[in-house]
């Protein structure tokens, strides 16, 4: 596959970096935190506030980004990081960009991470956050549609969450950025790009091992493509 010159340069810079799967979850979190300055300037917001909603496993921290005085909807954003890494400050710049470009109030959810909190704890934190949005338990949210979005493992959580709750009609749209949808790692593209890129198949196996047991990861609440019925999902 021909790579963009920027991507080639990035891969060369990362060539000597240790693989995520060679370290501990704490090592991986430190690597991600160290990269925050590379994310660039943060878009200005009318307001940014940190709140916490009551969840079944305890308080769930959420950072609320209001881009303008008249936002047009609410976006519940579930960050990536293999269910193991990712924090509010890691995704602050990204959440601001989403809020600014969509004119939606973005709620960045600081769900509990594995391996300290294995499946389904993080998923249930996200479910409780959506319930707080749908139940109007968070002040100053706009009256417009509710969107659930996420990248990578966060895309997995977003897709699974909407599948579990699809009959309620609470979510108007689902935005998935390179979501994790299948634990088997058996697709042609998975095999073709298993090595030589920053995130390897071995790294993904490491993330899955920290997140869920083999029986759980085979089910639709981890591997959403294994669901018997995806009818009725929000517009995606």
What is the tens place of the pLDDT at every residue in 156-173? 999 999 999 999 999 999
Report d(CA 91, CA 194) in Å as an integer: 26
Structural domain for 218, as ranges = 48-226
Q: Which residues pair with 109 in a beta bridge?
A: 62, 78
Residue 33 counted as domain residue: no
Residue 123 counted as domain residue: yes
Residue 170 counted as domain residue: yes
Residue 142 counted as domain residue: yes
Alpha helices in 48-120 (DSSP H): 92-102
Does the pTM of the predicted model rise above 0.75?
yes
**173-185 confidence digits (pLDDT tens):** 999 999 999 999 9
Q: Which of 6-15, 93-102, 105-114, 172-181 has the lowest mean pLDDT?
A: 6-15
**141-158 confidence digits (pLDDT tens):** 999 999 999 999 999 999
Residue 66 counted as domain residue: yes
The 3-state secondary structure of 184-229, one letter per residue = CCCCHHHHHCCCCCCCCHHHHHHHHHHHCCHHHHCCCCCCHHHCCC
Residue 177 counted as domain residue: yes
Check which CATH number belongs to the domain holding 181 and give it. Answer: 3.40.50.1820
Residue 83 counted as domain residue: yes
Radius of gyration of the chain, Cα coordinates, nearest whole angstrom: 18
Sheet holding 58-66, edge to edge: 47-55, 58-66, 105-109, 74-78, 146-151, 173-177
Q: Output the six-digit token pair for 209.
A: 């091992």
Q: Output the six-digit token pair for 231.
A: 């009818």
Q: How confident is the model at residue 15 (pLDDT cuts 50, 70, 90)?
A: confident
Which residues have a Cβ under 8 Å from the Cβ of 124 and sit 6 or more positions away? 55, 56, 57
Phi, psi of 182 (to 5 degrees): -155, 125
Q: Which string of DSSP letters, residue by residue, matches 101-151?
A: HHT-EEEEE----TTTS-TTHHHHHHHHHHHHHHTT-STT--SS-EEEEEE
Residue 34 counted as domain residue: no
Domain count, the chain: 1
């Amino acid at each position: 596959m021909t790579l963009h010159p920027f991507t080639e340069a990035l891969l060369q810079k990362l060539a000597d970096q240790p693989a995520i799967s060679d370290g501990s979850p704490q090592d991986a979190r430190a690597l991600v935190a160290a990269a925050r300055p590379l994310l660039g300037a943060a878009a200005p917001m009318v307001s940014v506030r940190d709140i916490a909603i009551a969840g079944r496993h305890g308080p769930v921290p959420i950072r609320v980004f209001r881009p303008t005085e008249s936002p047009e909807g609410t976006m519940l954003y579930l960050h990536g990081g293999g269910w193991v890494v990712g924090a509010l400050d890691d995704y602050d710049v990204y959440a601001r960009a989403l809020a600014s470009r969509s004119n939606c109030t973005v709620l960045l959810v600081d769900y509990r991470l594995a391996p300290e909190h294995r499946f389904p704890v993080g998923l249930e934190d996200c479910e409780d956050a959506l319930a707080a949005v749908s139940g109007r338990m968070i002040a100053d949210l706009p009256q417009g549609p509710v969107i659930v979005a996420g990248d990578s493992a966060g895309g997995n959580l977003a897709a699974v969450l909407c599948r579990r709750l699809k009959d309620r009609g609470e979510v108007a749209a689902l935005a998935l950025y390179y979501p994790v949808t299948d634990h088997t790692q058996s697709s042609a593209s998975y095999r073709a790009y298993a090595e030589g890129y920053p995130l390897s198949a071995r790294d993904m196996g490491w993330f899955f091992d920290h997140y869920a047991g083999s029986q759980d990861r085979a089910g639709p609440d981890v591997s959403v493509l294994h669901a018997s019925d995806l009818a009725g999902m929000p517009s995606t």
